Amino acid sequence: MKNIVDNICAVRAQITRAAHLTERPPQSIQLLAVSKTRQADELRQAFAAGQHAFGENYLQEGLDKIAALADLAIEWHFIGPIQSNKTRQIAEHFHWVHSVDRLKVARRLSEQRPPGLPPLNVCLQVNISAEASKSGCLPDAVLELARQVAQLPGLQLRGLMAIPAVSTDAQLQQQAFAALRTLLQQLQTELPQLDTLSMGMSGDMEAAIAEGASIVRIGTAIFGPRTYPSNTQEDSL
């Protein structure tokens, strides 16, 4: 337990330092603990340390944890690629979806969101680095997709998400995040309600915060190195 608790404290301190460097209030940045491949008891330890928002990439794994941790008031975020035949369970069990990249998926989430639940918060995933191996809408198609998603009942379009190309160069990291921030600002002229930039992971969190990240998705820095299951696509969160 000590390592997870200490790691969360260290990550929160890092967020606070990065926020102060850009004169942002630390509370404007939400820490999302990326819990893919982690056991439910590890999430319980993190929850006990004050971490209440968790991100899952794999649907069945996420559903198993949601059931196992149903006694805790966890905010569940789905952050992985979405298959059309999996949208119903995502719509029924998650509070946020960060990885909407096409209208078909958004429509299915809208239609399948149970009427007794609040709107599902969604971000559009942008392939900001135009990588062939990455999911996401290309930047020049984001505005039209945002217009259509914003009109769907049962959904609340919140903003944009991206996983830029991996780089250890802080300047290149910041350029990618700046491009996503600029894209959100362009959308806000037509959709002023948008308020979320989901960007930044364990290796580039500070650059993301400098460019306005409102949600940082941190896994390794909290839970340590992962062992991935076979036949899954990693995204280095």
Given a contact cutoff of 8 angstroms between Cβ atoms, the answer to whether 135 and 109 are in contact is: no
Mean pLDDT of 230-234: 45
Q: Which of 33, 59, 28, 63 is nearest to 48 (CA)?
A: 33
Structurally, at CATH architecture level, domain 2-222 sits in Alpha-Beta Barrel (3.20)
Distances (CA, A) of 72 to 17, 26, 53: 30, 25, 11
Q: Report the alpha-carbon distance of residue 163 to residue 200 in Å, rounded.
A: 8
Q: Report the alpha-carbon distance of residue 186 to residue 180 in Å, rounded.
A: 10
Q: Which two tokens stand for residue 182?
A: 């600029």
pLDDT score, position 234: 39
**Residues listed for the chain:** 237
Q: Is the pLDDT of residue 98 over 80?
A: yes
Q: Is the pLDDT of residue 232 over 90?
A: no
Given a contact cutoff of 8 angstroms between Cβ atoms, the answer to whether 94 and 129 are in contact is: no
Task: Tell me the pLDDT band of 233, cut-offs 50, 70 and 90.
Answer: very low
Task: Tell me the pLDDT band of 138, cut-offs 50, 70 and 90.
Answer: very high
Q: Report the alpha-carbon distance of residue 13 to residue 129 in Å, rounded.
A: 29
Task: Tell me the pLDDT band of 2, cut-offs 50, 70 and 90.
Answer: low
Mean pLDDT of 103-129: 97
Domain extents in the chain: 2-222
pLDDT in tens, 30-75: 999 999 999 999 999 999 999 999 999 999 999 999 999 999 999 9
* Bridge partners of residue 4, in order along the sequence: none
State the distance between the two ends of the chain, measured CA to CA, in whole angstroms: 21
pLDDT score, position 227: 72
Q: Is the dihedral of CA 140, 144, 150, 154 positive or negative?
A: negative
Q: Which two tokens stand for residue 167?
A: 């780089």
pLDDT in tens, 206-231: 999 999 999 999 999 999 987 765 54
Q: Report the alpha-carbon distance of residue 159 to residue 193 in Å, rounded.
A: 9
Q: Report the alpha-carbon distance of residue 44 to residue 69 in Å, rounded.
A: 8
pLDDT score, position 235: 41
Q: Is the pLDDT of residue 8 over 80?
A: yes
Q: Which two tokens stand for residue 45?
A: 């330890």
pLDDT in tens, 151-206: 999 999 999 999 998 888 888 889 999 999 999 999 999 999 999 999 999 999 99
Q: Is the dihedral of CA 51, 53, 59, 65 positive or negative?
A: positive
Q: Is the pLDDT of residue 106 over 90?
A: yes
Q: Which two tokens stand for residue 31?
A: 């820490």
